[in-house]
């Protein structure tokens, strides 16, 4: 498996465009119009290298303007899902035997194409996922980072470090791909997480069946087109939109599925894990599940914290992308010494945030993803208003999109539903802590363990947080969102998933298996 690719320059994160620069602003405005002109286009399935249409269609809409149809997609049937796995299995031996150097080159080409079409992908994310300009730019930049980082990681793993040598033997360890993977990305990072899981699968030599979210299939279709342009064979992956209830279980349970890479809700992740754990007739392996399943993330504000920085960090973490990040802050746990002042400052900050269509760069918040999501979030706000003290927000924002005002509910007890349950919307519960020890206890009072942050100027408190704040990604004196590939390997504890650490040096090992080889020599 020795690589023949020339050594690559050291990894650097993709710079994000500054939209205050006139040339970038004009380019983004042009991209938004260019993408809008493609609304309503119909996209095919891709199975076994063939483009397929079905009778049943899936329409994705613009959550800022729900009457606008962004894309029309085919709904895969169970028969097509089974055919996709079989096709990927049949092609695996050929794709898995390609040189790592060739796969790395294709991944780097994909990254280059994403960079060349960056504003266009930004625009698709604005229109289909309701991301504001900066949030869309961060999503695409992360997707590019995954291509660049995993290309370098595959180059490293294709020449693994030597093992100790037993006298009289030649000893080595080599990595091999697993087989067919099912990639199930979420709608909230419909490009970055899709790219991360897909590229990790392909660069390691696996074939994949991509089942995109039904909320954002057009972004996924555009990436599938880019993979073909980058030179990936049309049988190395299948593009398979469809209802999770119709094809999801089948893809997971198929005896020729080798692994499932999933990002989404706790309940769906647990079901995937359960189904994958039960071997099917003809299955020859224990399936791997690589899962990231959400969070109920807390930010602790200590009694000596810089309140201005704490308020900015909590607001950005709680209300960026409408709170629809698994890393979003949904619990602020504040020392009683600064509790009232913190709430006053945060209230003013939240009420200054603008809410409206995502294509308007003047808006800090766009829509939530769907009418169903908005209805659920509003129900949680109603529950929370009875569990605590409403501070601001609490209902829909004006407009025909799925808009909700940033909502703060104070005096929330740890047993409250809005303290314990993932809401996935712009709703923040604020809880008073007696001291830092109490704050840590409250922060850890959750079945999740994804991200967390601490604002404090006490070195001992920061030390305690490093050791005892039970999360996969901990941030000190900064917001709890915005993990960077290669810098903050991402994945959580407990019900937040398998702590797979995407964007880190261990991640590709989840898509490979190691073979130890010993040869007796004279």
Q: Are 347 and 41 in contact (CB under 8 A)?
A: no
> How far apart, in whole angstroms, are the C-alpha atoms of residue 401 and residue 130?
10
Q: Which of 5, 74, 132 is nearest to 401 (CA)?
A: 132
Question: Which residues, other chains included, contact 358 with Cβ-Cβ below 8 Å and sequence gap of 6+?
Answer: 63, 64, 126, 127, 130, 131, 132, 133, 136, 366, 367
Q: What is the token pair recorded at 76? A: 């895969």
* Cross-strand pairs, 154: none
Q: Which residues contact 236 (CB under 8 A, 6 or more apart)?
A: 91, 95, 202, 207, 208
Report the C-alpha gap between 277 and 404 in whole angstroms: 39
Strand 389-392 and strand 329-335: pairing? unpaired
Q: Which long-range contacts (CB under 8 A, 24 or more apart) does 267-271 make?
A: 268/244, 268/293, 269/293, 269/294, 269/497, 270/495
Cα separation, 124 vs 217, in Å, equals: 11
Partner residues linked to 486 by β-bridges: none
The C-alpha angle with vertex 324 and arms to 465 and 186, in degrees rounded to 5, equals 105
**In the numeric block, which tokens belong to residue 381?**
């706000």
Q: Tell me whether strands 389-392 and 407-410 are parallel, antiparallel or unpaired.
A: antiparallel
Residues 302 and 455: beta-carbon distance below 8 Å: yes
Structure letter (DSSP) for residue 507: G
Which residue intervals of 74-216 are DSSP H helices? 78-96, 100-116, 118-129, 133-157, 192-203
Between the CA of residue 226 and those of 110, 221, 253, what are the distances in Å? 7, 9, 29
Residue of 120, 142, 292, 422 marked active site: 292
- Taking residue 228's Cβ as centre, other Cβ atoms within 10 Å add up to 14
Report d(CA 121, CA 222) in Å as an integer.
8
Half-sphere exposure of 348 (CA within 13 A, CB side): 8
238 is catalytic: no
Structure tokens at 269: 């992740």
What DSSP letter does each residue of 336-403 carry, written as one string? TTTHHHHHHHHHHHHHT--BS-TTSTT-SB---S-HHHHHHHHHHHHHHHHHSEEEE--SBPSSSS--
Which of 326, 359, 422, 480 does the annotation list as catalytic? 326
d(CA 488, CA 498): 16
User: Can 329 be counted among the known catalytic residues?
Assistant: no
Catalytically active residues, by annotation: 292, 326
């Amino acid at each position: 498996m020795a690589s023949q690719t020339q050594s690559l320059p050291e990894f650097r994160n993709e710079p994000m465009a500054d939209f205050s620069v006139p040339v970038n602003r004009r380019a983004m405005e042009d991209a938004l119009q260019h993408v809008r002109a493609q609304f309503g286009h119909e996209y095919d399935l891709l199975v076994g290298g063939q483009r397929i249409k079905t009778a049943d269609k899936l329409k994705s809409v613009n959550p800022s303007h729900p009457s606008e149809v962004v894309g029309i997609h085919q709904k895969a049937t169970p028969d097509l899902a089974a055919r996709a796995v079989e096709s990927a299995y049949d092609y695996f031996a050929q794709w898995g035997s390609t040189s790592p150097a060739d796969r790395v080159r294709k991944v780097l080409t994909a990254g280059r194409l994403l960079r060349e079409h960056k504003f266009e992908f930004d625009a698709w994310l604005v229109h289909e996922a309701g991301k504001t300009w900066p949030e869309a730019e961060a999503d695409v930049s992360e997707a590019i980072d995954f291509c660049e980082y995993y290309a370098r990681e595959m180059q490293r793993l294709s020449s693994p470090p030597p093992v100790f040598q037993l006298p009289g033997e030649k000893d080595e360890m080599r990595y091999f791909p697993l087989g067919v993977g099912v990639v199930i990305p979420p709608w909230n990072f419909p490009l970055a997480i899709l790219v991360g899981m897909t590229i990790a699968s392909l660069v390691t030599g696996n074939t994949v069946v991509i089942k995109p979210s039904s909320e954002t299939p057009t972004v996924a279709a555009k990436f599938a087109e880019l993979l073909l342009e980058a030179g990936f064979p049309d049988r190395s992956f299948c593009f398979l939109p469809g209802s999770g209830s119709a094809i999801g279980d089948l893809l997971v349970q198929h005896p020729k599925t080798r692994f499932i890479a999933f990002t989404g809700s706790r309940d769906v992740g647990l079901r995937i894990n359960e189904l994958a754990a039960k071997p099917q007739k003809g299955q020859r392996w224990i399936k791997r599940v690589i899962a990231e399943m959400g969070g109920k993330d807390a930010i602790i504000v200590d009694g000596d914290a810089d309140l201005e920085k704490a308020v900015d960090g909590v607001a950005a973490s709680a209300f960026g992308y409408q709170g629809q990040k698994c890393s979003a802050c949904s619990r602020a746990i504040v020392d009683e010494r600064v509790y009232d002042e913190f709430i006053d400052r945060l209230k003013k900050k939240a009420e200054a945030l603008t809410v409206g269509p995502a294509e308007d760069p003047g808006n800090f918040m766009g829509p939530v993803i769907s009418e169903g999501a908005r209805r659920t979030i509003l129900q949680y706000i109603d529950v929370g208003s009875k569990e605590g003290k409403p501070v601001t927000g609490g209902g829909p924002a004006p407009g025909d999109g799925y808009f909700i005002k940033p909502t703060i509910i104070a005096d929330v007890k740890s047993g409250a539903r809005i303290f314990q349950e993932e809401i996935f919307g712009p709703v923040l519960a604020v809880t008073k802590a007696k001291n830092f020890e109490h704050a840590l206890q409250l922060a850890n009072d959750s079945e999740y363990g994804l991200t967390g942050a601490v604002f404090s100027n006490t070195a001992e408190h920061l030390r305690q947080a490093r050791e005892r704040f039970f999360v996969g990604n901990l941030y000190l004196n900064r917001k709890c969102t915005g993990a960077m590939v290669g810098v903050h390997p991402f994945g959580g504890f407990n019900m937040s998933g398998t702590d797979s650490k995407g964007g880190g040096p261990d991640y590709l090992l989840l898509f490979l298996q190691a073979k130890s080889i010993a040869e007796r020599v004279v």
